[in-house]
Amino acid sequence: MAKVLEGPGMGLLSKWGMTVPHYLVVTNADQLEQLASAQPWLNRPGAKIVVKAHDAIGSRMKLGLVKVGLDFPAAKKAAIEMMGQTVAGTTLTISQVILSEFIEHREEYYLAIKSVREGTEILMASIGGIEVESHWDQIKRISIPLGINPTQTQLESLAKDAGFKKGLVTLIADYAMKLYQCYDQEDAIMIEINPLIVREGGWGSQGEIVALDAVTLLDGDARFRHPDWDFSFASEFGRPYTNNERSIMEIDSRIKGSVKFIEIPGGDTALLPAGGGASVFYADAVIAMGGTIANYAEYSGDPPDWAVEALTERICALNGIKRIIVGGAIANFTDVKKTFGGMINGFRKAKAKGQLSGVAIWVRRGGPNEKEGLELMKGLSNEGFDINVFDRYTPLTDIVDMALGAK
């Protein structure tokens, strides 16, 4: 699952025929004057502007990170003040803002589509805005089975059930159909529009449905199917992704199998596990033993050796680590010899850079070609590596105990 920031999310809605406000993402306040001349909606007479922090932050309005109804000079001032601000209660610094046109409206609505085990769920409500959670019992929904598309009749019936007035039922249903097409064709996991409004004046026609804000979650592993996804995914960790994290995400997006990597500063134990289950197990076991983890990582699905090599290099470069725990349970089809070959290349490159001094490597693995792979790992001891290699008959818990000094 990958979160998309508001600007790219609005771009996807527009691509599929849904109306969104004029908007502009700004990362440099010095550009604002030039951008105003290039974007006429910013400084047309009587224009009102909304300024919002453009980061993966919930409840921006409640945090004071949304300023509404500003003229251009006030919007420029708000943008300058917001950029560089640290969000209360986090370490996140606002690095960009989004400016959008303020659209007059009287009522706010809610519309969302999300993936569920049985297929897709479509949600609607004739109320919306920042307090929608307190009226969750008024949200109506329908389930669409896997492989089936919703019909116009179903969507109009849902709009009626959600309390939309007669004149809006067809308009809301039409918008929901476009949203479903976007959700389906863009490999989305969830798209939530809140608020959805009716434009009451200004530019555009009367009765036009407009999405003022949207939360968009996509299947990040589907990026190879969408060459027009020219945007970065948003971090969910209260900070931007690091360059190393982004480089592994880029590799992951174009390979068979999977490699994942997230840095956790301050940890003493780096993890290089095979699969998501092993990653969670090792993380819990290290913490239970009083250690601290330096990263989340996994490789699975028989990724190419060069991808595992790249992942290994990033892990070896983590600051302050005392040990690296490698491997996992018994693989079904991931080639242990091949993936360990990539790992060994990564270890060698790291050592040549002066990394891994004083770092012990602990390995436990089973699976196809495990004997050959484990022998290759053991051979690193002859090259000056502090490496400890175990096969499938050593419990995973013992590896953590030994690595952290209990055994």
> What digits encode the pLDDT tens for the residues 127-144?
888 777 777 888 999 999
Is the pLDDT higher at 372 or at 256? Answer: 372
pLDDT bucket at 89, cuts 50 / 70 / 90:
low
Ranking 52-66, 145-159, 356-370 by mean pLDDT, the lowest is: 52-66
- The 10 Å CB-count burial string (b at 16+, else e) for 226-264 is eeebeeebbbebebbbeebbebbbebbbebebbbbbbbe
At 401, is the secondary structure helix, strand, or coil? Answer: helix
At 124, is the secondary structure helix, strand, or coil? Answer: strand
Cis peptide bond upstream of 227, omega within 30: no
Q: Express each pLDDT in 249-266 by its tens digit.
A: 889 988 888 999 999 989
Mean of the per-residue pLDDT values of the chain: 89
Residue 202 has pLDDT above 60, yes or no: no
pLDDT bucket at 152, cuts 50 / 70 / 90:
very high
- Percentage of residues of the chain with pLDDT beyond 90: 60
Is the pLDDT higher at 74 or at 233? Answer: 74
Residue 236 has pLDDT above 70, yes or no: no
pLDDT of residue 62: 74
Residue 201 has pLDDT above 70, yes or no: no
pLDDT of residue 203: 40
Q: What is the pTM (predicted TM-score) of this model? A: 0.70
- The 10 Å CB-count burial string (b at 16+, else e) for 378-396 is eebeeeebebbbbebeeeb
Q: Cite the beta strand spans of 146-280 per DSSP E.
A: 188-198, 209-211, 214-218, 258-263, 269-273
Q: Express each pLDDT in 379-405 by its tens digit.
A: 999 999 999 999 999 988 899 999 998
Q: Which domains does the chain have, with CATH numbers?
A: 22-101 (3.30.1490.20), 109-225 (3.30.470.20), 243-403 (3.40.50.261)
Its sign, for the CA torsion 336, 341, 346, 348, is positive
Residue 58 has pLDDT above 60, yes or no: yes
- Strands 295-300 and 23-26, by their bridges, are unpaired
What angle do the packed helices 152-161 and 166-185 form, to 10 degrees?
Answer: 130
| Interatomic CA distance for residues 288 and 285, integer angstroms | 5
pLDDT of residue 129: 81
**Which range among 31-35, 108-112, 129-133, 239-243 has the greatest average pLDDT?**
108-112
Q: Express each pLDDT in 277-303 by its tens digit.
A: 889 999 999 999 999 999 999 999 999
| Residues facing residue 3 across a β-bridge | 217, 234
Residue 72 has pLDDT above 80, yes or no: yes
**What's the half-sphere exposure (Cβ side, CA atoms, 13 Å) at 220?**
19
Q: What is the mean pLDDT of residues 228-255?
A: 83
The amino acid at 330? I
pLDDT of residue 138: 85
| Interatomic CA distance for residues 126 and 132, integer angstroms | 10
| Residues facing residue 197 across a β-bridge | 210
R_g (Cα) of the chain, nearest Å: 25
pLDDT bucket at 31, cuts 50 / 70 / 90:
confident
